[in-house]
Amino acid sequence: MKCKLCKSANLSTIYTASDIPVFQNKVYETLIKAENAMTGNVKLAMCLNCGFVFNEDFDNKVMNYDDQYQNEQAHSTYFQKYLEELICLLTEKKFHEKKIIEIGCGKGFFLEMLREKGFDVVGFEPAYSGDKPYVIKDYYSDKYSYLDADLIILRHTLEHIQEPLQFLHTISNSAKTDAKIFIEVPSFEWIVNQKAFWDIFHEHCNYFTVKSIANLFQNSEQGLLFNDQYMYLIADLKDLRKQIMPSEISSPDFEISKMIDLYEFYREFIRNHPGIMVWGAGAKGVTFVNLTDPKREYITNLVDISPAKQGRYIARAGHRIISPAQLAEARAGEILVMNENYYHEIGNQVKETRIKLYTLGEI
């Protein structure tokens, strides 16, 4: 196995997990379908040449995105506010005056927000289920070079691409010569600092640090977003490197033994709090529940505000997803909030109850 970016064979395994759902964001109509969801392994390798981190066991052939895939976060007012801040950033960079393409626009929520703000933007999403004429149900390629975009947006797309440099060159070869790119991905530094094993999935084949993503371009601007959980990069596509250069890196404090210690700590917490629920049936919650309560012995339900998830079951472990309105009926007493960014929003929804909320950082 060689690094997906620089092709170096100087790799170090830094984390492993086995038999986890291939898709954390797929939900299922029946318990049987959920329990039979496909699983895979994670074997994170860090390149000691360029610092890139990737899943050696990622299997692109099984990645089938269909109607069961639900990853829309925009039902949250907190997340909507975050998207507004992101639009402000793009406006500050004068991109509201440019022609824009968003590759991997998903359900189109962010794209619609941009258009409402007057941005000239077209989306690409092969699995798009809507009917808007400005969303093209296809993969972006040179046949769409006539769109002549000034900016390409990749939000939470590059971490799903097995050959990220090759993918970026496909975009660069198809775009106008002076086009820029805006990339947003999860921050691996944040995952390392939090020892967040619940933020490592089979679905994400790539994990970037500020250094490793900057190494893709000769010049770029980087910054942190969403309370440091995400990071962004803005660069000229003409500055995309043909060959990734070595960089000074230090191995992160992400050894398997320390991850196992934290994993066992949370498993013990769950065992000591039978009947607890988990708020958030997204990738974090599904991963955490599958690793800490795989046989549905202690966690009763997951709670989520997305109507598309409610009444369904999470992959493999098979816990049921309920709505906040069902908490009283489900006799919720304790809830573990998977993403502390939403803690206050969730607290406002349950403030009239006696439910005790926990965050991962406070237990």
Q: Which domains does the chain have, with CATH numbers?
A: 11-60 (no CATH), 77-238 (3.40.50.150), 256-359 (3.40.50.720)
340 closest CA partner among 316, 362, 310, 322: 362
Q: Which tokens hold the place of 67?
A: 């109607």
pLDDT band at 254 (very low <50, low <70, confident <90, very high): low
Predicted pLDDT at 97? 87
What pLDDT sits at residue 256?
67
260 has a pLDDT exceeding 90: no
> In this model, does residue 250 exceed pLDDT 70?
no
List beta partners, residue 302.
278, 321
pLDDT above 70: residue 251: no
What region, left, alpha or beta, does residue 83 occupy, with left being phi > 0 and alpha being psi -120 to 50 degrees? alpha
Q: Does the pLDDT value for residue 232 go beyond 80? A: yes
For the chain, where are the E strands, in sequence order? 11-21, 27-28, 39-47, 53-55, 99-103, 120-124, 135-136, 151-155, 180-186, 206-207, 221-225, 230-236, 277-279, 301-303, 313-314, 320-322, 334-337, 356-359
Q: Per-residue pLDDT tens for 196-224?
A: 999 999 999 999 999 999 999 999 999 99
Q: What local confidence, expressed as pLDDT, does residue 152 receive?
A: 98
Residue with tokens 């492993």: 16
Give the whole-number percent of the chain exceeding pLDDT 70: 97
In whole angstroms, what is the distance from residue 200 CA to residue 203 CA? Answer: 9
Higher-pLDDT residue of 115 and 248 is 115
Q: Are 277 and 212 in contact (CB under 8 A)?
A: no
Assign 185 a pLDDT band (cuts: 50, 70, 90). Answer: very high
Secondary structure of residue 152 in the 3-state scheme: strand
Specify the higher pLDDT residue, 106 or 116.
Answer: 116
Mean pLDDT of the chain: 93
Please choose, from the candidates 242, 241, 239, the residue with its C-alpha nearest in 3D space to the C-alpha of residue 219.
239
CB neighbour list of residue 351: distance below 8 Å, 6 or more residues apart: none
- C-alpha dist (Å) from residue 250 to 201, 286, 349: 23, 31, 43
What pLDDT, on a 0 to 100 scale, did the predictor assign at position 129?
84
The pLDDT, as a whole number, for residue 257 is 72
